[in-house]
Structure 1
Amino acid sequence: MPRSIALTGRSLISGAAQGALLFADVGLSFWGGVDPCTGEVIDRHHPLSGEHLAGRILAIPSGRGSCTGSSVLMELISNGHAPAALVLAEADEILTLGVLVAQLIFERSLPVLCIGKEAFAALRGQAFARVEGASLVVFDHVPADAWQAAETPLPINEAGALIELTEFDRSLLDGKQGKAPQMAMQIVLRMAELQGAHCLLDVTQAHIDGCIYTGPASLRFAEQLVQWGAQVRVPTTLNAISVDQRRWRELGVAPALGEPASALGDAYMAMGAQLSFTCAPYLLDSAPKAGEQIVWAESNAVVYANSVLGARTLKYPDYLDICIALTGRAPLIGCHLDAQRKARLLVEIPVLAELDDAFYPLLGYHIGALAGSRIPLVLGLKPHQPGLDDLKAFGAAFATTSAAPLFHIAGVTPEALDPAQVLEPDAQVPVETIELKDLLLSWRELNSARESHVDVVSLGNPHFSLSEFAHLARLCRGRHKHPEVVLAITCGRAVLEQARAAGHIAVIEAFGATLVTDTCWCMLGEPVIPPTATTLMTNSGKYAHYAPGLVGRQVHFTSLTECVDTACSASASGRLPTWLQPALLMESPVHV
């Protein structure tokens, strides 16, 4: 007889299922980490890399990384490649929202159960799991009984029973404002109840991440809203979409992707969103001010808005973002509240030599993994005075490995100019001390390439800023890239025109670079990346993490200067940054 362990938790989405248990103690980003067509785990840094989710009970501490994870999970549910159930240590809004939308649009679902960290640890080494409502039973072998999952009716939507509603909220919920805002309010209230909110707040603007094409389900969702007459109620910008809408044919993108991806962007613009198509909305003139209550999706943008601008947003899942934009109302929870913006982890960094721009994405990547879902306060960076581009790169990499929507840097970010302001009085906050040898391990993790030849240099993840274009132009002036190397930069249309007016683009194009707008490297593939290319180089910690799974190429991660030098030589130097070299000496005491 197989031995079993019975556990109980909090049912986030009700249902019953059983299957082989697929366990990992590391959070998983479904976007960039799971193929939405097949259900394969493609995050090559994750312990489940290569596993297929379909029909299995997936047990992970939480999601992490991209807000588009909800869209990927919805695609998997719609195409039959989803796990049979999700078991989490911590409640995850992004993944839960994907299931809620699948219920609404496709009338399909799967159970989502949160059991807490202590119970979650008991799942290690178990072979089989059975979920039924709030109950979980795990077995060390497959049980031979005849248990069958009972049919679970989809919930009757009685959203809002636990939430304090205004008269306007009720008019939305009752359908008096139209079908689209009614559906949107139902989803907002379902999520508010799951989050434990008691009321809603007004938001001033939205940034929509759901315009990324993950498959037919993502387009069907948007077009259904358009058919219902959806119109946004607050100023709304759009994230990078999956293609350069003006040039996808010229760039050789297949119509099978180009047409629906472009149509998805059009659908959101039909709802009243602005044609912005950037993953860096903080570079636009419409960027929010400190204290402004907003709803932004796209993980790097959320982290930048909260941490660098001092605005207030959660890490909103795809589809919840548009639902809030259609209603103008968001749950009053999380980083919208002062108390939820406090640091829960102190991170001390070592004394460092003069830094280059590769340091900040590497540090963000490393701290994100340490932090998990905790908001960190980083100590020791004030003397280095990181600039906005440094914080942008740090935040994007941090958002890749962390589930937290916010970081603080003592003496640098606005809420931590006085670090005591982001610490609870008398609170015992755990401390992590980073050493150079730790950063060397993360450097090696991001540098997956084993050959020195480089085929593609990837810049602009997140989208390039005007100051990054200026820096790149200085590095490129009077030089020309190697004829066998593609150097491509992704950026938003607004920043491209600013850089062109400043004279930077002429220099960069003379160098031989390719400029791509509207989309981002997380969506780019062949033929922008030549089919024969085997090795990429990037200065983005985010893309260095995702690229091996997304495009199947090995990656060199380095500074912008090294990227330009390599574009000219087609060969990576393999040099460690000066500030990281002491770690190598410490690792190898006898060093020649």
Structure 2
Amino acid sequence: MPRLTSLTGRSLVPGAAEGALLFADVGLSFWGGVDPYSGEVIDRHHPLSGQYLAGRVLAIPSGRGSCTGSSVLMELISNGHAPAALVLAEPDEILTLGVLVAQTIFQRSLPVLCIGQEAFATLRDMAVARVEDSTLSLFEQPPGDAWRAPDNAQPKADNPSTLQLSELDQALLAGHHGQAAQVAMQIVLRMAELQGAQRLVDVTQAHIDGCIYTGPASLRFAEQLVQWGAKVRVPTTLNSISVDQRRWRELGIDPALGVPASALGDAYMAMGAQLSFTCAPYLLDSAPQAGEQIVWAESNAVVYANSVLGARTLKYPDYLDICIALTGRAPLIGCHLDAQRKASLRVQVPELAELDDAFYPLLGYHIGALAGSRIPLVLGLEQHQPSLDDLKAFGAAFATTSAAPLFHIAGVTPEALDPRQVLEADALLPQESIRLQDLLVSWRELNSARESRVDVVSLGNPHFSLSEFAHLARLCRGRHKHPEVVVAITCGRAVLEQARAAGHIATIEAFGATLVTDTCWCMLGEPVIPLAATTLMTNSGKYAHYAPGLVGRKVHFASLKECVDAACTATASGRLPAWLQPAARLENPAHV
């Protein structure tokens, strides 16, 4: 059968493949959205939910969400459940990096092609796609010819580098600082070329997200670096790992996960990283200052560092983070540069009554979906003055639905105290105006549970801060949870000790809650979540989105106070917050 049409794009990873076309016009986070062992799309909010990626040409606008997407894609490539090829509307560093590392460690690969938004829109009704380096051929039916894809394992020769390399860069690349640093620099330079960087920049610290165990490939990568003598060149902290390293046996975790997940954390510490194990490194004493050039991975941490602290980092993929930590050098592009930190979208928030703490994660979730990869300037919150905990919750939910590494809130975040500072002179930005009814739609999306019963209350995604522990202790004082409800809070070791010293933990443990360190709710499952549990409740917009796919349970999303009340009664009230009730009255005027 003759090809229906042919398109040309930019080859991010060369190669050739053919398969049934799996198309979606919504970005996909591979971590939390794709099962790393089977290739099933498990994001229950995504149009491809339930589809399997293996052997198909996956066409999505871009990735989104977690930096760990690179690790999941590398696992899929190593275990044979990866797509045959990726076709993107816009470049995606997280997914591309996963392919590059698979080439380096496993000698396996797949083609990645970027074709632009206009061409991408034409793919919707196509049945079969064939990728050959920079060419995409589309068919309405299987072509039936004798075409076979060549071996994609080995990368093709790159064009000569145009990067300006320092003496240190050249020494690292030549292997003068060991094999691990040499391989790391090779990967850094490949990404820098793809990103269009002209030179590299020194970074002062790193936060590593690749310590999350996604399967055997993630451990093999880290242990290979250790065998090659890897040592970090800058102060380096570690993200949450997949288990509480000190208590995973006590918590009933299967050794099939506990042993390799703990070993993965040990491997990164063997490279010189600090034992921090938190997804909220901005709560540590080592948090960066405004203007500091850093390399952080973990999507919520990246967004918080850029937006709230005013530090400078990209949304670094897993494995590129450790490569930069081993070299101390990062591509000078994106949010490392003043010009790339400007807003590209205005978002107007409606006038609102008094708010509770459920508002900010909901708003972040909604704006992230509106923004896509654009950096938003949020207008209308100047009088509300959100707290650091509010901004943490907003940023985590924003990073779940957006690919952007940064947001600005007029009059609130440091670079937008004067919003003119984040606007290009004379630039006419697109504007979105959010209605209260729009937020009601997102509220219902996050509230996937249909029964009022609550079996588990999940708190600490991202990790709890000292002030959140203080707030929770006030809500719990003199009360005790329902005997059939599990209440668990994840946090970093450092914050746990601060909260214990302040007296908050004694009150919370008297309430009946369990404290879990080192890991986070995005990695927790059974038996911390009892096998018989069917419904969770959380105040995290991020976890409300991911939990249905990660642990197969429906979710109630609400404020911290509502979560504590539900923990005592084993029942979610189902009440809308006061600020959202006018939207429901507009929807059902007969009930006013």
In the aligned structure 2, how far is the partner of 1:8 from the partner of 1:156? 19
Residue identity opposite 1:225 in structure 2: L
Q: Secondary structure at the match of 1:293?
A: coil
CA displacement, residues 118-159 of structure 1 (integer Å, 9 cap, x when unaligned): 000000011110000100011111212222113346126668
CA displacement, residues 64-109 of structure 1 (integer Å, 9 cap, x when unaligned): 0000000000000000000000000000000000000000000000
2:237 is aligned to 237
Residue identity opposite 2:203 in structure 1: V
1:408 is aligned to 408
In the aligned structure 1, how far is the partner of 2:4 from the partner of 2:160? 38
In the aligned structure 1, how far is the partner of 2:43 from the partner of 2:7? 29
Check whether the contact 2:14–2:156 (CA below 8 A) recurs between aligned residues: no
Check whether the contact 2:342–2:424 (CA below 8 A) recurs between aligned residues: yes
Check whether the contact 2:18–2:131 (CA below 8 A) recurs between aligned residues: yes
1:250 is aligned to 250
Check whether the contact 1:362–1:442 (CA below 8 A) recurs between aligned residues: yes
In the aligned structure 1, how far is the partner of 2:153 from the partner of 2:463? 44
2:211 is aligned to 211
Displacement after TM superposition at 1:32 (Å): 0.1
1:417 is aligned to 417
Q: Which consecutive unaligned segments of at least 5 residues does structure 1 have?
A: none
2:146 is aligned to 146
In the aligned structure 1, how far is the partner of 2:556 from the partner of 2:210? 30
Return closer, same or farther for 1:69/1:552 CA change in 2, 3 Å cut-off.
Answer: same
In the aligned structure 1, how far is the partner of 2:426 from the partner of 2:333? 24
Displacement after TM superposition at 1:3 (Å): 6.0
* Structure 2 residue 371 is the aligned partner of structure 1 residue 383: no
Displacement after TM superposition at 1:31 (Å): 0.2
Q: Secondary structure at the match of 1:241?
A: coil
CA displacement, residues 205-258 of structure 1 (integer Å, 9 cap, x when unaligned): 000000000000000000000000100000000000000000000000000000
* Structure 2 residue 302 is the aligned partner of structure 1 residue 302: yes
Residue identity opposite 1:265 in structure 2: G
**TM-score of the superposition, structure 1-length normalised?**
0.99
After superposition, residues 554-573 of structure 1 pair within 5 angstroms as 554-573=554-573
In the aligned structure 2, how far is the partner of 1:454 from the partner of 1:68? 30
Check whether the contact 2:108–2:152 (CA below 8 A) recurs between aligned residues: no
1:197 is aligned to 197
Q: Which moved more, 1:491-500 or 1:133-142?
A: 133-142
Check whether the contact 1:373–1:403 (CA below 8 A) recurs between aligned residues: yes
In the aligned structure 1, how far is the partner of 2:160 from the partner of 2:238? 28
Displacement after TM superposition at 1:178 (Å): 0.4
1:64 is aligned to 64
Check whether the contact 2:103–2:153 (CA below 8 A) recurs between aligned residues: no
Residue identity opposite 2:510 in structure 1: A
Residue identity opposite 2:323 in structure 1: C
Q: Secondary structure at the match of 1:19?
A: strand
1:364 is aligned to 364
Residue identity opposite 2:531 in structure 1: P
Residue identity opposite 2:407 in structure 1: F
Check whether the contact 1:480–1:512 (CA below 8 A) recurs between aligned residues: yes
2:544 is aligned to 544
In the aligned structure 2, how far is the partner of 1:153 from the partner of 1:42? 28
CA displacement, residues 153-180 of structure 1 (integer Å, 9 cap, x when unaligned): 6126668722100111000000011000
1:277 is aligned to 277
Q: Secondary structure at the match of 1:44?
A: coil
1:260 is aligned to 260
In the aligned structure 1, how far is the partner of 2:3 from the partner of 2:570? 57
2:29 is aligned to 29
Q: Secondary structure at the match of 2:529?
A: coil
CA displacement, residues 338-394 of structure 1 (integer Å, 9 cap, x when unaligned): 000000000001000100000000000000000000000000001001000000000
Check whether the contact 2:361–2:396 (CA below 8 A) recurs between aligned residues: yes
1:84 is aligned to 84
1:97 is aligned to 97
Return closer, same or farther for 1:285/1:160 CA change in 2, 3 Å cut-off.
Answer: farther
1:581 is aligned to 581
Q: Secondary structure at the match of 1:488?
A: strand
In the aligned structure 2, how far is the partner of 1:513 from the partner of 1:467? 17
CA displacement, residues 503-557 of structure 1 (integer Å, 9 cap, x when unaligned): 0000000000000000000000000000000000000000000000000000000
In the aligned structure 2, how far is the partner of 1:355 from the partner of 1:532? 35
1:504 is aligned to 504
Q: Percent identity?
A: 84
In the aligned structure 2, how far is the partner of 1:213 from the partner of 1:587? 45
Residue identity opposite 1:151 in structure 2: D
In the aligned structure 2, how far is the partner of 1:415 from the partner of 1:160? 38
Q: Which consecutive unaligned segments of at least 5 residues does structure 2 have?
A: none
Residue identity opposite 1:253 in structure 2: I
Check whether the contact 2:212–2:240 (CA below 8 A) recurs between aligned residues: yes
Number of aligned residue pairs: give it.
Answer: 592
Tell me which stretches of 4 or more aligned residues in structure 1 moved more than 2 Å.
150-153, 155-160
1:476 is aligned to 476
1:489 is aligned to 489
Q: Secondary structure at the match of 2:537?
A: strand
2:116 is aligned to 116
* Structure 2 residue 321 is the aligned partner of structure 1 residue 326: no
* Structure 2 residue 380 is the aligned partner of structure 1 residue 342: no
Return closer, same or farther for 1:156/1:169 CA change in 2, 3 Å cut-off.
Answer: farther
Q: Secondary structure at the match of 1:516?
A: strand
In the aligned structure 2, how far is the partner of 1:139 from the partner of 1:169? 45
Q: Secondary structure at the match of 1:122?
A: helix
Check whether the contact 1:129–1:138 (CA below 8 A) recurs between aligned residues: yes
